[in-house]
Structure 1
Amino acid sequence: MFGPDWVEGCPSCSFVTDHLDGVIDHLKARDVTLVLVSRAPQEKLAVFKKWMGWRTPWFSSGGCEFNQDFAVSFSAAEVAGGAKAYNFGTIAPYGEENPGLSFFYKDPGGAILHTYSTYTRGLEVLLGAYAVLDRAPKGRDEANLPWPMAWVRYHDKYEPTTQGAESCCHNKTSQ
C-alpha cells in the first residue's frame, strides 16, 4: 500500500481504502476494527492519510516483518526471482508491495488469532465502484488497458468532465 521509500501510496490500494473508509463506523457497531498497515514511516502515512481524507487508523510496520509474514511485502530479490509466495502461491508478486487483506480475532484470553486473508482479486468484493461498473453497459471496460486497474487514480486526480455521455437521461438538448 505504501512502501518505505515511496513518495505516495499505491493508487489501487487507495481505491480500495476509499471504499472501506466510509464503512468504519458501521464496522465498529459490529465490534470490528479496521486498520491499515504499511511499511512506510508513520510520518509519511499521516501526511498521505490527511491528503486522502481518510479516518481509518493507519500504522507503520517499518522495522518489523509483519507485512512479509502475511505475504504482502517482498524483497527485491524475491520479486526478481519470481517467488511464488504471493496469493497462496498462485502468482508471483507484482512488486515489493502487494495488495492483501487479513482478519484477526482477539479471543477472551487475549490471544490474537489470524482467521482469514485474501489477495488481489479477492479484494474486488469490497469495491462498490466495480459492482456498479459490472452492471453498466460497457462494464469495467479494461480490456485494452496495460493492466486491469490502469485507469484507477487517486480520487482527486481524475480529469474533470464537462459533459456527460449521451444517454436516455442526458443529451445535448437537455443540458
Structure 2
Amino acid sequence: MTNHSTGTREEWQAARLAVLKEEKELTRQSDVLAARRQALPWVRVEKDYRFDTDKGQASLKDLFDSRSQLLVYHFMFGPDYEAGCPSCSSIADGYDGIVPHLQNHDVAFWTISRAPLEKLEAFKRRMGWTFPWASSGGSDFNADFSVFFTEDQQREGGVEYNWRREPAMDVEALAGRIVQQWEQPGEETPVARIAAMTGTDVATYTRDRPGVSAFALQDGDVYHTYSAYSRGMDGLWGMYQWLDRAPLGRNEQGVWWRHHDRYGDAQAHDCCR
C-alpha cells in the first residue's frame, strides 16, 4: 500500500492542470531569460589561447571550425587527476547525441580541460565518448574563465567562483577532506568522495571547477558572450531533468552517481580499482 496520496483519474487531471499552469509560466520565464542571455554585451577576446587537440595545436578561433558560434564545457580534469570528475562525466554522457545537431546549426562544441591530451583521450576511450575534447594545459584559458585556481589562491582566500569569494583553505590540513561548511560529521564528505573517484584529494580536486562558456566569431574577432557555473548549469545535466519528472524526483542522500562504467562496483568511489 503506497504512502503517497492517491485519487481518481478526474482528481489527478485537475491537479495536473494546476501544475501545467505553473509549468507554462516557468517555460515563458525561461524564454525571457534566454533572450536576456543573448542580449548580454559581448567582450572581445584579446589573448591568443592555444589548445592541444587530436588534430594538433589550435587557437580559440580554430575551435569554431568555420562556424560563427562556439559552446565550451569546462570539464573538471586537472593534470593530477587519474580520471575525470564523475559529475562532469555524467553530464558529458549526453553530449555525443547532441553535438551533431549543434554542429549542423552553426554551433561548434568543445569540452576543454587542463589535463594533458593523452590523459583526456585515454579517459574518453574508457567512457566510449566521441565528442571533441581539447587540452588547455599550456594556456591561461581556465584561469581567465574562472574555472581554475592555484594552491596560493586557495590558501589566501583568493578563489572567486560563480561570482562569490570562498573562504581560505588550510590546504595541507584539508588533504582528503572538504572545507568546513560542507562537512558532514561521522561520514566521508560528498566532495571528498567525488575527489576520490578522480584519484585526488579535496584541495587538488577543487582547484578545477565546472562551467560553460559561449563565444561568437564575427568579422574575424572572437567574443565572449556568456558563462555559467555551479547550478547555473543544472539544465545541462540531463539525468536530473529526467529525475525531476520521475515519481520520487531526485531522491538523493549524498553522492549516488558514478562514472557510468563503475555502477555495480562495490569500490566504485575508488577510480584506481
TM-score range, shorter chain: 0.7 to 0.9
Q: Which amino acid aligns with 1:2?
A: F
Structure 1 consecutive aligned stretches of length 4 or more whose deviation exceeds 6 Å: none
SS in 2 for 1:36: strand
Cα deviation for residue 139 of structure 1 reads 1.2
- Corresponding residue for 1:165? none
Cα deviation for residue 84 of structure 1 reads 4.6
Contact 2:158 2:165 in 1 (8 A): no
**d(CA) in 1 for partners of 2:240 and 2:157?**
29
**d(CA) in 2 for partners of 1:88 and 1:119?**
9
Contact 1:20 1:126 in 2 (8 A): no
Which runs of no fewer than 5 residues in structure 1 stay unpaired? 161-175
- Corresponding residue for 2:216? 105
Identity fraction in percent: 48
Q: State yes or no: 1:140 paired with 2:250.
A: yes
**d(CA) in 2 for partners of 1:120 and 1:41?**
24
Higher strand share: 2
TM norm structure 1 = 0.81
Within the candidate set 115, 121, 126, 1:40 is matched to: 115
TM norm structure 2 = 0.53
Q: 1:26 to 1:8 in 2, by over 3 A?
A: same
Greater relative CO (CA pairs within 8 A, separation 6+): 2
Which runs of no fewer than 5 residues in structure 2 stay unpaired? 1-75, 168-202, 266-273
Q: How many residues align?
A: 154
Over the residues paired in the alignment, what is the CA RMSD in angstroms?
Answer: 1.9
Cα displacement string for residues 34-79 of structure 1 (whole angstroms, at most 9, x for unaligned residues): 1011110111011111111111111111121100000001111222
Cα deviation for residue 126 of structure 1 reads 1.2
Cα deviation for residue 91 of structure 1 reads 5.4
Within the candidate set 241, 258, 263, 1:153 is matched to: 258
**d(CA) in 1 for partners of 2:217 and 2:230?**
26
- Corresponding residue for 2:139? 64
Cα displacement string for residues 71-119 of structure 1 (whole angstroms, at most 9, x for unaligned residues): 0011112223343511122656981011100011111x11010010000
Q: State yes or no: 1:87 paired with 2:162.
A: yes
- Corresponding residue for 1:53? 128
Contact 2:150 2:207 in 1 (8 A): yes
**d(CA) in 2 for partners of 1:65 and 1:32?**
24
Higher helix share: 2
- Corresponding residue for 1:11? 86
**d(CA) in 1 for partners of 2:226 and 2:139?**
21
Contact 1:102 1:116 in 2 (8 A): yes
